[in-house]
Structure 1
Amino acid sequence: MKNRRAPDIADPPVPPLLPPPPLPPGEPMAAMDAAWLRLDTPTSRMVIVSLLMLRPSITLAALRAQVEARLLRHDRFRQRVVDEAPGPRWEEDPAFDLGRHVQAETLPRRRAQSLEAALKARVADLAAEPLDPAHPLWAMHLVEAYDGGSALIVRVHHCIADGLALIAVILSITDGGALPVSAARVPPGGAEGEGWTDAFLKPISDWTVRALQDRASRAGQPQGGKGSKDGKASKDGKASKGSKGAPPAGDDGSAAAAEFLSAQMASDIAALAIVEDDSPTRLKGRPGRTKRVAWGHGVPLDAVQAVGKSLGVSVNDVLMSCVAGAIGAYLRAHGDDTRGQEIRAMVPVNLRPMEDAWQLGNRFGVVPLVLPIGLSNPVQRLYAVHSRMKALKSSLQPVLAFGLMAAAGLLRPEQQRLLNDFQRKATAVMTNVPGPSAPLQFCGAQVERVMFWVPQSGDVGVGVSLLTYAGQVQFGLLTDAGLCPDPQAIVDAFEPEFQQLLTLALMLPWEAGA
């Protein structure tokens, strides 16, 4: 009997390799946030940079544990941006690695360079460095050993949040910071999911109501079908148009409100459209890729409040007047004639309720504030700033600017000239963010100082940042190295400008019993 050959035992078929399951389609990016994504260029990175000075020092392990437990509860810090034809969208990063975003580093330091100068140089380098577009657009750099403590540099792209929202997030990740229950995910239709038309129209209602009430209060004209208690005439002694007597029955003042809104909007659209270019100072020009960073020691908030109260102006008026004085002093020190010169600063105006500040995204408009840098008299300059700020507060320009930027965010990148033309009318971006009144604790260390720097778009080469923290007003600058190579000189001129106003305020007569 012949031996039969055993049949070959074939290996089981190997299933073909299947591609990984597709990621969920993701959430479309809000138009206002997309505008900031589009504005990012090699010469102007749309990244908000902040610096926390901690004492004693903290470790990288403690920082990563804190970030993982608290910061990553916000979706945006786990999501990357996918920018495709329909528009950018947020999606979970399949290769998310916390170690990529939170790193320790040794501070580079040249021979004879001070420790603070080395830190400023490192912050400036990071302000010009792009974030990796393949992963979530944020990073933390921990200098573990710095002057007996640690220095934490945080970079977050402006498309994730504005300055007010980021301050709220920083508060939430500190030791004992309250994190809202819904912070991990905003419900559909919430602040992040709103269409830009809703976000545009809602603030208009609030601003219009306030403006109408203010105008009616000053003019003493009837509102809502009822006569005025005062019966006072308008500023020019005549009744305003459409305000004679009560509105028609059942109208409830809607016709007057619509007329006022239409007139105010037409006036503010014209004001935005015909804005002239700034005075041609050395601070204005085409920026390059190298940046400079500066900060000062800060001034006491209670002293600023005392000056404002004594002179009948707001804290913002005092601070912005001092910034204008410092810039003017810097230009004159370089031999420039500033007589009659003015520059324009784009000032952000918050358009969200303060209780919603923790929600990410960008919800602000801007107003073009003219700074009288040619006025060397500190009191004259203060009241000039006060007058201009008062006029801007009753305008719709912040809301209109919000709508302009949101509409531009829907455009393709090659159509972004609209945004650049809008920004070209200014020399600086100036923002003032209120921070916590008491010192914070982070990873067991005290946060001794918090500073941040705002990005500039287009041909704007100067970013002015004012932050109130633990009773101190911190003043910082981020500038283009070619346009303003020594921003520290402007920062150093800020406190003397404030001291002049403080001295004048102290010389005023005290009220009886004060």
Structure 2
Amino acid sequence: MPQLTALDAQFLHFESATTAAHVAGVAILDPEGGTVTRDALADLLRERMHLSPALTRRLKRPPLGLDHPYWVDDPGVDLDHHVFESRLPAPGDELRLAEHLSAIHERHLDRDRPLWEMHLITGLSHGRVAVYTKVHHAAIDGVSGAETLAALLDLTPEPRAVAPMEPVERAEAGEPSLSDMLTGALSRTATQGARTVRSLVRTAGELDAMPLVSSLPGSGLLSRTARWLGGDRRSRPELPALSAPRTMLNGPITGSRRLAFGSVPLKDVKLAARTFGGSVNDVVMAVCAGALRSWLEERGALPDRPLVAAVPVAVRTAGAMERAGNQLAMMAVPLATDVADPLERLAEVRKATGAAKRRLAMSSANWLAELCEVLPAPLAGLATPALSRVVSGAFPPINILISNVPGPQFPLYLCGGRVLSYFPVSVLTDLSGGVNITCFSYDGMLDFGLVACPSKVPDVWGLLGHLQSAMKELTRLQETTGDEFRHRVGIDLVSG
């Protein structure tokens, strides 16, 4: 009966009438040769649910919200409340699918049951089907989410045999009693002051790497002093300014969502990385920067300072793969949206992300997790939604959240049907802005999933078009300016 960490619980606290804190994915399948039906999906889940803790656990909440909830095993999961089927009206294209899934994505999960749903959508053009799966972010991060997905997929059309859960594992299942939860809550309350001080001390050395806080006068000096007093005398990479401009993307969001999804060839992204230097992730960030710049410029709303993106980074260790929940850190990176030239923009993004990665590797504390420990559980649950709305309107810490999740470069199968694409769909909050861009590399393609609040981004498909255009622009420039670019910025492609 593991207890949620403060970071896990924070995703529960973020939820409100306008925020649903689940992550999702849309698998587009060619069902030929398989049996992709609701009954087949339900049978597959019965056989394999025990491979993923996120699918078999529900919340057990202490009375009055005095402490963080617990995960308890739910061996009798009723799939009638988790697996659904619907059919698109003709013509069954991507626009109809996105409209249908937008309505599903904006609905909250039932906290009295395991926090996930799976939807089979038929009626897509060309005989395809879609499987949309959402899981609460309190239960998974990017790595554990990939593990959950892998538990249901196969390497061949023929499903693999999976050993059932051992009887001894079932016997170990249990729930915390009321007295156990009250004792735990009292213990945490008694030690909250010490934990708050410890978290603040650990966070002090990372103030200059935190969005919004790093722009305050004296934050750099305070960070260096805190590290020096803590015995850390290492020199750190110089970080660029992390002051997010106020844009039309920021401010309190509504509860409505709009989705869009599309792909670019992964070989083009890798070729751009080789030609201009850097990593696949650098190119992804630069493409997002180019798309946001042109989209905002089109509306006369481009700020003169660069947008700031938050980038989740998995810090899950091999020994912790079986634990549900989140083990992630966060980098803040300026996107160089104020730079008109696409190659100069890529160079700036590469420089900024490199510094952020080196700084994260040298950090002695995970400021994201530490900040979640500062407030006691009852206060965090009450304060988070209201505080998020106030801060987002006056001082947005970031403009957008961008995530790039690496995936397998070979075909996978679900119930015998081949997965053609997999589009991730993430979370929107008041603090993170009105649009989220997540991409997943799979079988030779980079699949983008965009989720937006229509009051901030009324044409999310238009933004997707700018993403694809930004990638095409880099592809065209490879043939004509690759050598010139490398010479100009002094990139050594052998060393990095």
- TM-score band, normalised by the shorter chain? 0.7 to 0.9
Instruction: Tell me whether 1:160 sits opposite 2:149 in the alignment.
Output: no
Counterparts of residues 8-407 of structure 1 (less than 5 Å): 26-56=1-31, 58-84=36-62, 85-93=66-74, 96-107=77-88, 109=89, 115-147=93-125, 148-175=127-154, 258-260=231-233, 276=243, 278-296=244-262, 298-336=263-301, 338=302, 340-353=304-317, 357=321, 359-396=323-360, 399-407=366-374
CA shift at 1:49, angstroms? 1.6
Pick the structure with greater CA Rg: 1
Deviation string 1:335-356 (CA, Å, 9 cap, x unpaired) is 33x2623211111011123685
CA shift at 1:48, angstroms? 0.4
Going from structure 1 to structure 2, the CA distance change for 1:502 and 1:90 (only over 3 Å counts) comes to: same
- Which structure has greater helix proportion? 2
Instruction: Tell me whether 1:455 sits opposite 2:434 in the alignment.
Output: no
Of residues 144-153 and 347-356 in structure 1, the stretch that sits farther from structure 2 once superposed is: 347-356
Which blocks of at least 5 consecutive residues in structure 2 are unaligned?
174-187, 207-223, 487-493
- Structure 2 counterpart of 1:125, one-letter code: A
Aligned residue for 2:304, secondary structure, equals coil
**How much is the aligned-residue C-alpha RMSD, in angstroms?**
3.7
Of residues 309-318 and 441-450 in structure 1, the stretch that sits farther from structure 2 once superposed is: 309-318
CA shift at 1:409, angstroms? 7.7
Which blocks of at least 5 consecutive residues in structure 1 are unaligned?
1-25, 189-194, 209-240, 242-254
Aligned residue for 1:436, secondary structure, equals coil
Going from structure 1 to structure 2, the CA distance change for 1:88 and 1:39 (only over 3 Å counts) comes to: same
Deviation string 1:215-262 (CA, Å, 9 cap, x unpaired) is xxxxxxxxxxxxxxxxxxxxxxxxxx9xxxxxxxxxxxxx9993236x
Using the alignment, how far apart are the partners of 1:31 and 1:256 within structure 2?
A: 27
Give 2:407's aligned residue.
435
How much identity, in percent, do the aligned residues show?
25
Using the alignment, how far apart are the partners of 1:158 and 1:140 within structure 2?
A: 15
Aligned residue for 2:8, secondary structure, equals helix
Deviation string 1:18-49 (CA, Å, 9 cap, x unpaired) is xxxxxxxx432222211111111221110102
Q: TM-score, normalised by structure 2?
A: 0.75
- Structure 2 counterpart of 1:401, one-letter code: L
Deviation string 1:402-450 (CA, Å, 9 cap, x unpaired) is 3223545845311326777887411211111011110101101100110
Using the alignment, how far apart are the partners of 1:376 and 1:419 within structure 2?
A: 32
Whether the 8 Å contact between 1:408 and 1:418 is mirrored in structure 2 is no
Whether the 8 Å contact between 2:56 and 2:75 is mirrored in structure 1 is no
Aligned residue for 2:475, secondary structure, equals helix
Whether the 8 Å contact between 1:125 and 1:291 is mirrored in structure 2 is yes
- Structure 1 counterpart of 2:295, one-letter code: Y
Whether the 8 Å contact between 1:48 and 1:157 is mirrored in structure 2 is yes
Going from structure 1 to structure 2, the CA distance change for 1:51 and 1:427 (only over 3 Å counts) comes to: same
Using the alignment, how far apart are the partners of 1:335 and 1:391 within structure 2?
A: 31
Whether the 8 Å contact between 1:405 and 1:419 is mirrored in structure 2 is no
Using the alignment, how far apart are the partners of 1:482 and 1:52 within structure 2?
A: 27
Aligned residue for 1:28, secondary structure, equals coil
Aligned residue for 2:251, secondary structure, equals coil
Aligned residue for 2:294, secondary structure, equals helix
